[in-house]
Structure 1
Amino acid sequence: MVFQKKVNIYKCYQFGVPKVVNSGYKPNEVKTMQTKFVIALACSVGLVLQAFSQDEQAVKILKKVNQAQTQKATQVYYKYTYKGWGKLAGRFVGEVKISRKNGMQLWVHLKTLDEQGQLKRDEFIVTNGRAIQLLDNTAKMYKYGTARGGGAYLMSYAWYAVFQESLRPQPFARATKDTTLKYEGTKDIAGVKCYVISRTNPYFQDREYWYFGTDDYLIHGQRKENHQPATEGGFTFHMSALKTNMNWTKSDFALNVPKSFKKIDEDQRPVKVGNQAPEWTLVNTAGKTINSQQLRGKVVVLDFWASWCNPCWQIMPMINALKKDYAQKNVKVLGVNVWENPKLDLKKYLKKKKLDQYEVWLDKDATVAKLFKIAYLPLIVVIDTQGKIAFLSNGRDAQLNKKLREAIDRALK
């Protein structure tokens, strides 16, 4: 604590309280300053203790949830509805089967709806954590692959139907250590009375609500609200018709694939360095198109991104600088916007981020993202002059700028 009234002040501490010596202050002034210090110290200690304290009621409920999920939810069935807004916009309904007996098995029926509630896409996704299958009844296609091969992206939409925390060996055990937990009372979710537990993430400015049955202590829903401008939006996820301890076998997780459906082995056409890149077409905000054939003979850098993806816009200045540095060389740098909030004004967004010169092309229906089997963002792809993939990165590399430039320089030779 610094007193600014007179300069000749020396402080010593007696039981943590400053004692002002030879300061020229009157006794009553010294007493006032000491009193203020004690009050400030008490407030500071209180704030620190509050910051590290937990809501005991919330922790008590979560511990019971962990026990219930572990004991009762080894084989679970439920119906679900997902409704998102803002950057998390989307509508999905369907059914889910989860088995955690002798390894994990997941079966998801995913129906994608438009804003009017009409069916847009009807899919089934099945995985045991290693092999992944997708049956697309709308496109009449059956795709399959492995998580470590070319099939990881097949799981992308499954997470709209599954509360991922419930798949952990000890569900919600880690959450009991969260100091932002708060018991919010009860709420009815699809006819089930539930405890409401909330938690916050100050960095991402989001708030999450979990709904647990007051009788069974199982998860029945979730709500999330993001308030950071780059990720503003949210969603509600509600479960109904929940059944536990089912007596399923492997056949309950099998897909019935019609003979007429086109079959695609994703592991046989992996997107990896050295392989031929898929042919693609993009459009910009003015309606102009560009495709891979037009750029053959150039080194092409594709930066897949979305405004809600924090790592994406963190590397944008680097990508923008790279475009400027290679402007006079045989290199084309394109920002590919995918899975974006349709209501976002990209021009205003980039201007706000001071990235007006960042060249944006749109992949509105994620067609190109699917060609490159993207399961996460960001993804940076370098394609050489012969149309082969020369470099791939998820953008989370401290040496990204160096490695990316080295890959471009090699491709230019």
Structure 2
Amino acid sequence: MLPDVLIAGGGIGGLAAALACRRAGCRVRLYERAAEFSEVGAGIQLGPNVVRVLQGWGLEAALAQVVARPDRVWARRAADGATLASLPLADFPQRYGAPYLCIHRADLHELLLNVLQREQADSLWLHAGRALETYEASADSVRVRFEDGLEVEGDLLIGADGLWSRVRAQLLGDGPPRGTGHLAYRALVRQAELPAALRSTCVTVWLGPGLHVVQYPVRGGDWLNVVAIVEGAAPADPAHWDHAASTAELQARLVDACALLRELVAAVPSWRLWALNDRPPVQGAAQMAQSRVALLGDAAHPMRPYLAQGAGMAIEDAAELGRLLGQARELGALIDTPVLLQRYALNRWQRNAQVQARAARNGRIYHLRGPVAWVRDAGLRLLGAKLMDQPWLYGGG
């Protein structure tokens, strides 16, 4: 008998988990604290490790309608615009079994939500406006109580409720996330509104002292996503991720950058500011699952965005959970839910910890100053694509 799955959180990770569990034949109930299902933010990059999962769920055609397909990743020096290295992406489908894609976060969220709503039946329920307050796990079930007093019971609870997860707070009691000392300025601009020299079909990373800027196309290439990450103090309310920010603030940070990068920043009409928070890399399976409760995505392993794998690791988590549930169904086995969740955690925690650590390391490398930055630049010029490619990441999952 397959379990009755309760999911807290209706973001990309929660929806991916619902889809994976539903495809495994489970009864799924998902609860989102916001009054409606929506997603904020800007673009995200999907490496082939993530695209393979989405294609395996039959979403290839739907993805094709909303993604951009960058042809190359460039690394450039912010100070003078010099090209340091590039990684061609055209052969990724042959090398890794799927392409490298860019997508607006809201488009991916809507895609997953639409699939679930089409499949919604007696075995799937999506509930908005339900904020988890607490849960109680026993030997036989898990009972969840919401802020409005509603109580529900299931066989397992998946905490996919993000960086400030209430499920994690009760499961691990390890305090709030830590500030990274990095701030992300995010913006989207129509490419048609940009001068021709600023439009782009590729991913470009501009490296500078104490900062870097990333730009890439989304929404079929019609829009350009721009993210500038600088070192600085967090806003007064770090738990509220999105803060208004002015172009002047960012321009002051980039006063020594090359003309092309300064022109790009000046051409963006408005920015939003995000204080980056994370947690140390996962230390063991017990940090991802205990008894009948498991964590997924940012609730389990929030990470810095310097490998572009935050959403990707959540989707991989969901795929592994669905794989184990599907395997149990195929074997016709009576599932011991705590054992299944422990296996999920054992199969995921080390990869997630590796990505967390590599992402943090990338951030330090991107922001190098002085002579060590010259060494970094020389290494990129010498080894180029070999340094930028990530076979361990794109071929795994």
Bin of the TM-score, shorter chain as denominator length: under 0.3
If each structure's helix is expressed as a fraction of its own residues, which one has the higher value? 2
Structure 2 length normalisation: TM-score? Answer: 0.25
Structure 1 length normalisation: TM-score? Answer: 0.25
If each structure's strand is expressed as a fraction of its own residues, which one has the higher value? 1
Higher RCO (Cα < 8 Å, 6 or more apart): 2
